[in-house]
């Protein structure tokens, strides 16, 4: 009888310990959701958050993830994926060079427009207009310093419709790559590149899990994304030993960041932070960076 009581006590203790552990996890998740929502509420504007753990796939936090946003420069990630796809199919060679020009056609009526060096984050590239530049170098500039001129040249090469079609095949159902950057006529008619947080999460996961292309291509994409020079959202408050492969995007009232975060212990997660209609751009940006830090702290504690 004593043995039976002892066994019962052990089983009961184990159940209580398990229940306590589950409750602790639920409490951590509930606290995280409250913390993130409080930070979102402090931002005057519309925000979407997509968090997905690559190490624990069931662990995610999705807020407003199907809301449509102007993609801004996050659309350069789909262009990069399409470049690698077409290269793997033998349609182009990333080592090849292309003539650098500054003349593009509006998707509205085919009229010509040019990029303004004063509206671009990459001014160095303009000194090379009229010369040939390697596709790989243009792609690196497109992502790491968000060169608009490089983007338009590369998008014209791979085609916007084909880029969007590739995103559909990856499972991104709503992201739209319609046009190059600074096509004012298209913008005036409401024709802009758009995305959702869910779709950016899907394509970032595809890169991380080597389903966006073959592994060596995905490794190359991650290396480019890790060389990102705009780091005022996801990485801002994270320790330096944490590596972030990401792409930002911003226009008036809009600031985004989407990336893969790699912890020193081997764990990794996807984070997408989108915003629009920001009344205070700097404050909104800082709160987005703090959301990133809160999610990092949550991952670290689990």
Strands 60-63 and 46-53: antiparallel
The pLDDT value given to residue 160: 97
In 3-state terms, what secondary structure has residue 97?
Answer: strand
Backbone φ and ψ of 47, nearest 5°: -130, 145
Q: What would the pLDDT profile of 36-70 be if each residue is shown by its tens digit? A: 999 999 999 999 999 999 999 999 999 999 999 99
Q: What would the pLDDT profile of 251-267 be if each residue is shown by its tens digit? A: 999 999 999 999 999 99
In a domain? residue 25: no
In a domain? residue 16: no
- By C-alpha distance, which of 234, 228, 178, 193 is closest to 71? 193
In a domain? residue 167: yes
The pLDDT value given to residue 10: 57
Higher pLDDT, 204 or 58: 204
Q: What would the pLDDT profile of 18-27 be if each residue is shown by its tens digit? A: 545 555 556 8
In a domain? residue 19: no
| Domain harbouring 232, CATH code | 3.40.710.10
Is the per-residue pLDDT at 138 higher than 60?
yes
**Owning domain of residue 213:** 33-301
In 3-state terms, what secondary structure has residue 193?
Answer: coil
The whole-chain average pLDDT of the chain stands at 93
In a domain? residue 2: no
Higher pLDDT, 13 or 54: 54
Alpha helices (runs of H) in the chain, residue ranges in sequence order? 2-41, 76-88, 135-144, 148-158, 160-169, 184-188, 197-208, 215-226, 281-301
Residues above pLDDT 90, as percent of the chain: 87
Which of 10-19, 89-98, 137-146, 233-242 shows the lowest mean pLDDT across its residues? 10-19
pLDDT band at 14 (very low <50, low <70, confident <90, very high): low
The pLDDT value given to residue 149: 97
Q: What would the pLDDT profile of 69-102 be if each residue is shown by its tens digit? A: 999 999 999 999 999 999 999 999 999 999 999 9
In a domain? residue 17: no
User: Do the Cβ atoms of 290 and 237 come closer than 8 Å?
Assistant: yes
Higher pLDDT, 155 or 1: 155
The pLDDT value given to residue 302: 86
The pLDDT value given to residue 19: 47
In a domain? residue 66: yes
Q: What is the pTM of this model?
A: 0.90
In a domain? residue 68: yes
Region at 190 (left for phi over 0; alpha for psi -120 to 50; beta for the rest): left
What mean pLDDT is predicted for residues 216-239?
98
How many structural domains comprise the chain?
A: 1
Instruction: Report residue 198 as tokens.
Output: 């869910």
Is the per-residue pLDDT at 17 higher than 80?
no
Q: For residue 65, what are the CA distances in angstroms to 30, 69, 183, 199, 281?
A: 18, 10, 27, 8, 21
């Amino acid at each position: 009888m004593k043995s039976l009581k002892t066994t019962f006590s052990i089983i009961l203790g184990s159940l209580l310990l398990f229940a306590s552990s589950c409750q602790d996890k639920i409490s951590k998740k509930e606290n995280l959701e409250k913390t993130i929502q409080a930070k979102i509420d402090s931002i005057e504007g519309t925000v979407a958050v997509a968090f997905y753990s690559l190490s624990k796939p069931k662990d995610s936090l999705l807020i407003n993830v199907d809301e449509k946003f102007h993609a801004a420069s996050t659309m350069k990630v789909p262009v990069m994926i399409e470049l690698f796809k077409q290269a793997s199919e033998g349609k182009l060679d990333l080592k090849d060079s292309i003539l650098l020009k500054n003349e593009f056609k509006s998707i509205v009526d085919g009229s010509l427009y040019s990029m303004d060096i004063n509206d671009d984050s990459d001014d160095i590239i303009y000194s090379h207009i009229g010369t040939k530049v390697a596709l790989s170098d243009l792609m690196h500039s497109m992502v790491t310093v968000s060169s608009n001129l490089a983007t338009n040249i590369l998008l014209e090469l791979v085609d916007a419709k084909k880029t969007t079609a590739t995103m559909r095949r990856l499972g991104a159902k709503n992201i739209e790559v319609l046009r190059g950057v600074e096509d004012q006529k298209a913008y005036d008619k409401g024709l802009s590149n758009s995305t959702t947080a869910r779709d950016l999460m899907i394509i970032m996961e595809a890169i991380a899990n080597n389903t966006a292309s073959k592994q060596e291509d995905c490794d190359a994409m991650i290396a480019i994304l890790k060389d990102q020079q705009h780091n005022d959202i996801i990485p801002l408050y994270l320790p330096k030993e944490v590596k972030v492969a990401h792409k930002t995007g911003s226009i008036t009232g809009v600031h985004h960041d989407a990336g893969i975060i790699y912890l020193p212990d081997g764990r990794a997660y996807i984070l997408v932070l989108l915003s629009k209609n920001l009344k205070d751009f700097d404050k909104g940006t800082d709160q987005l960076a703090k959301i990133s830090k809160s999610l990092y702290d949550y991952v670290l504690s689990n």
